Amino acid sequence: PRFETLPPAPEGPLDLSAAREAPFPEFIPPMLATAGDHAYEDANWLHEVKWDGYRVQAVVRGGKAKLWTRNRADGATYFPELAGPPSWIDAAEAVVDGEVVAFGTDGQPSFSALQERTGLMGLETRTGRRRPRSRADGDAPRERSSPAPIIYQAFDLLYIDGRSLLDVPLESRKRLLHRVLRPHPLVHFATHVAGEGSVFLDAALAGGLEGVVAKKRTSRYRPGERSSDWVKIKIKAEQDVAVIGWLPRQGSTDDLGSLIVAVMGPDGLVHAGQVGSGLGGKVRRELLKAFADLARPDPPVAEVPALAEARWVEPRIVARVEFAEWTHDGLLRQPTFLGVQVDRDVPSTVRQDPPVRARRSLPKATQTSPGPAPSASEDELAALDALEGEGSWDIGGQVVRLTNLDKILFPARDGDPGPLTKRDLVRYYTSVGGFLIPHLRHHGLTLQRFPDGVERKGFWQKDLPSHTPPWISRRELTDREGTKQYVVVDRVATLAWLAQEAAIELHPWTATVEAPDRPRFALIDIDPGESTTWEEVLVMARLFRAALGHLGVIGLPKTTGKRGIQVWVPIADHYTFDQTRD
């Protein structure tokens, strides 16, 4: 839904009786919303989209627009194209409140695209090295390759041509804003819907948006206050956190592996866990540069667990994370780093409970897995057999495109009734889906693909190819080789797609996608040489079974490759990979 293109319906005369003459304000501290868990059906509440961007105040005067973030940093540094002549508004002087939103390649609002666009320039301010420079200082904006497109979603008008509108009812402020805004490619009016909150929230959910803000129709603007007249209803579970330290990446002493974070409690900052997922190489490098100026010998919070190799920093950097829930001991569960909040300060990191309706907008492995995994039905398998060499197959409620179904992947050997084709592989994978998916749905996969059959050389694949269907669940992980997206099998249709890709070897992580740095299995890999027989491999596997049995430990055998066996040993979730290797 393109809510921003819809003008508000005119309702009666415009009431500006509460407007008053006032000197021009250089900056008005923004009014903030409280957190809520439901929208409103009452028409006395106006519902707007909660945009996933940076709060920005546009101050128009003298033919120029100055941009302020919510903590009064110079927004022109990050969004120079909005700081030119304000041709987008019919006013000589004005103060407009809004949100700058960046859009990804799919046309959806994307905080990560905004983070890529702005980089981590705000860190320089927080470390005390220097403030970001703006065009007003006489310097050209920093060059960036292919910056993500932005839109300024203007949602409130606080001052215009000598008159303060802070005491004017919200609806009248918005109607006046809509009247004075001129058509402009970078500035849109953020429209609203009166009442009908549940419908609006459902539409935001379907559109993959961050959430909804409900505002009382008659509310006055209260600078710097967090008011119950404005209520934010989030769809995604996100939290601002203060960075208080970091842990090195495994096998390295100087590369960033995870952030140690805290949130603001009644008596100050409280440890909230570690965040490792989502930290790309560029972000890690920039953060390490900032940490060099913020280093301190001890933790800045009263109570933290014993963390070997922890490095502590002054809590000046605020990051945003997406997470599943809070654990009973007050830690973030399954946190993923989204970006540095250059427009936020540490006091903003008050703990927020996840919304009841929290859901990821794109298929990600950290979503709740579906119930019991189905296999292909007899009718679905009959439809597969009826396909010619290629076609679209409806499996498990998802259409999968299949090609070269009669291509031979396993040539016939002595005693075999015949060769096995890609169609046979699709049939087998989807027939055993009910047994296979429960063991795969929490683990990323590395694939070995044999598009020309097993007698030709295959290749390993970790990163999903660009032609991967958008409905395929995946988990992003960053290591020394870069950032990759790993496939996660949580539905029978994904198995059909893997067979279509001739992925004959499926190698799951020993860790889960929810905690990729914590292995859930120790792995014993029996990898035979060319002269080793299958019987000898079995003897070795049985010896391991006996040894583990003496220790009271159960090992789970898994065939791998042509003649190998892996023994998977379940372990508690507090061990590291290095400990499993020892």
DSSP string, 342-403: TT--GGG-B--PPPTT---SS-BTTSPP-SSPPPPPHHHHHHHHH--SSEEEEETTEEEEE-
Q: Is 377 exposed, middle or buried (0-12, 13-18, 19+ CB in 10 A)?
A: middle
State both tokens at 525.
């890999």
The answer on pLDDT for 126 being more than 60 is no
The answer on pLDDT for 6 being more than 50 is no
Residue predicted with more confidence, 417 or 187: 187
Same domain, 275 and 337: yes
Instruction: For residue 540, count other CB atoms closer than 10 A to its CB.
Output: 15
Residue 324 · residue 334 · CB < 8 Å:
yes
**Distance separating alpha carbons of residues 515 and 475, to the nearest angstrom:** 11
Residue 260 · residue 304 · CB < 8 Å:
yes
Residue predicted with more confidence, 511 or 552: 511
What are residue 150's phi and psi, to 5 degrees?
-125, 160
Same domain, 321 and 217: no
Same domain, 131 and 95: yes
The answer on pLDDT for 453 being more than 60 is yes
Residue predicted with more confidence, 164 or 483: 164
Domain-ending residue, one of 348, 372, 398: 348
Same domain, 382 and 414: yes
In this prediction the pTM is 0.48
Specify the 3-state DSSP secondary structure of 508.
strand
Establish if 356 belongs to a structural domain. Answer: no
Cβ-based neighbours of 56, under 8 Å, separated by 6 or more: 67, 68, 69, 75, 79, 82, 98, 99, 100, 152, 343
Instruction: For residue 443, count other CB atoms closer than 10 A to its CB.
Output: 22
Instruction: For residue 467, count other CB atoms closer than 10 A to its CB.
Output: 7
Residue 187 · residue 152 · CB < 8 Å:
yes
The answer on pLDDT for 196 being more than 60 is yes
Same domain, 258 and 193: no
Establish if 355 belongs to a structural domain. Answer: no
Instruction: For residue 547, count other CB atoms closer than 10 A to its CB.
Output: 12
pLDDT of residue 131: 39
Same domain, 37 and 10: yes
Same domain, 328 and 392: no
Q: What percent of the chain has pLDDT over 90?
A: 30
The answer on pLDDT for 432 being more than 50 is yes
What are residue 95's phi and psi, to 5 degrees?
-125, 120
Instruction: Report the Cα 486 to chain-centroid distance in Å.
Output: 15
Q: What is the mean pLDDT of residues 329-334?
A: 78
The answer on pLDDT for 372 being more than 50 is no
The answer on pLDDT for 345 being more than 90 is no
Q: What is the mean pLDDT of residues 139-152?
A: 59
pLDDT of residue 116: 66
The answer on pLDDT for 445 being more than 90 is yes
The answer on pLDDT for 236 being more than 60 is yes
**Distance separating alpha carbons of residues 30 and 57, to the nearest angstrom:** 8
**Distance separating alpha carbons of residues 46 and 39, to the nearest angstrom:** 10
Residue predicted with more confidence, 498 or 6: 498
The answer on pLDDT for 106 being more than 80 is no
**Distance separating alpha carbons of residues 417 and 223, to the nearest angstrom:** 79
Residue with tokens 């998916």: 437
DSSP 411: -
pLDDT of residue 130: 41
Domain-ending residue, one of 348, 381, 409: 348
Same domain, 284 and 156: no
- Reported as a pLDDT band with limits 50, 70 and 90, residue 365 is very low
Pairing of strands 474-479, 445-449: unpaired
**Distance separating alpha carbons of residues 321 and 266, to the nearest angstrom:** 21
Q: What is the mean pLDDT of residues 453-459?
A: 91
The answer on pLDDT for 162 being more than 90 is yes
Q: What is the mean pLDDT of residues 141-157?
A: 72
DSSP H helices in 132-196? 170-180
**Distance separating alpha carbons of residues 150 and 97, to the nearest angstrom:** 16
Q: What percent of the chain has pLDDT over 70?
A: 85
- Total number of residues shown for the chain: 582
Range of the domain at 287: 238-348
Establish if 387 belongs to a structural domain. Answer: yes
**How many domains, in total, are found in the chain?**
4
**Distance separating alpha carbons of residues 465 and 485, to the nearest angstrom:** 9
Establish if 489 belongs to a structural domain. Answer: yes
pLDDT of residue 144: 42
Same domain, 45 and 134: yes
Strand-pairing partners, residue 577, are none
pLDDT of residue 99: 92
Establish if 546 belongs to a structural domain. Answer: yes
Specify the 3-state DSSP secondary structure of 317.
coil
Residue predicted with more confidence, 84 or 504: 504
Pairing of strands 226-234, 32-35: parallel
pLDDT of residue 90: 92
The answer on pLDDT for 368 being more than 70 is no
Chain mean pLDDT for the chain: 82
Specify the 3-state DSSP secondary structure of 82.
helix
- Reported as a pLDDT band with limits 50, 70 and 90, residue 54 is confident
Establish if 229 belongs to a structural domain. Answer: yes
pLDDT of residue 451: 93
Q: What is the mean pLDDT of residues 413-442?
A: 89
**Distance separating alpha carbons of residues 376 and 426, to the nearest angstrom:** 10
Same domain, 522 and 511: no
- Reported as a pLDDT band with limits 50, 70 and 90, residue 135 is very low
State both tokens at 227.
């008011």
Establish if 357 belongs to a structural domain. Answer: no
Query: Residue 546 is part of a domain; what is its CATH number?
Result: 3.30.70.3300
- Reported as a pLDDT band with limits 50, 70 and 90, residue 565 is very high
DSSP 119: T
Residue predicted with more confidence, 106 or 58: 58
**Distance separating alpha carbons of residues 315 and 244, to the nearest angstrom:** 5
Same domain, 156 and 258: no
Q: What is the DSSP string of 37-57?
A: S----STTEEEEEE-SSEEEE
Domain-ending residue, one of 234, 250, 277: 234
Same domain, 63 and 143: yes
Rg (CA), the chain: 28
**Distance separating alpha carbons of residues 424 and 415, to the nearest angstrom:** 18
Q: What is the pLDDT of residues 385-404, one digit of tens each?
A: 999 889 999 888 888 999 99
Q: What is the pLDDT of residues 245-301, one digit of tens each?
A: 988 876 666 788 889 999 988 888 999 888 887 777 778 888 888 888 899 989 888
pLDDT of residue 482: 75
Instruction: For residue 469, count other CB atoms closer than 10 A to its CB.
Output: 14
What are residue 205's phi and psi, to 5 degrees?
-65, -45
Pairing of strands 474-479, 503-508: unpaired
pLDDT of residue 163: 94
Establish if 455 belongs to a structural domain. Answer: yes
The answer on pLDDT for 237 being more than 80 is no
* Least confidently predicted of 15-19, 63-67, 199-203: 199-203
Cβ-based neighbours of 159, under 8 Å, separated by 6 or more: 22, 24, 25, 28, 93, 94, 95, 165, 166
The answer on pLDDT for 139 being more than 50 is no
Residue predicted with more confidence, 219 or 83: 219
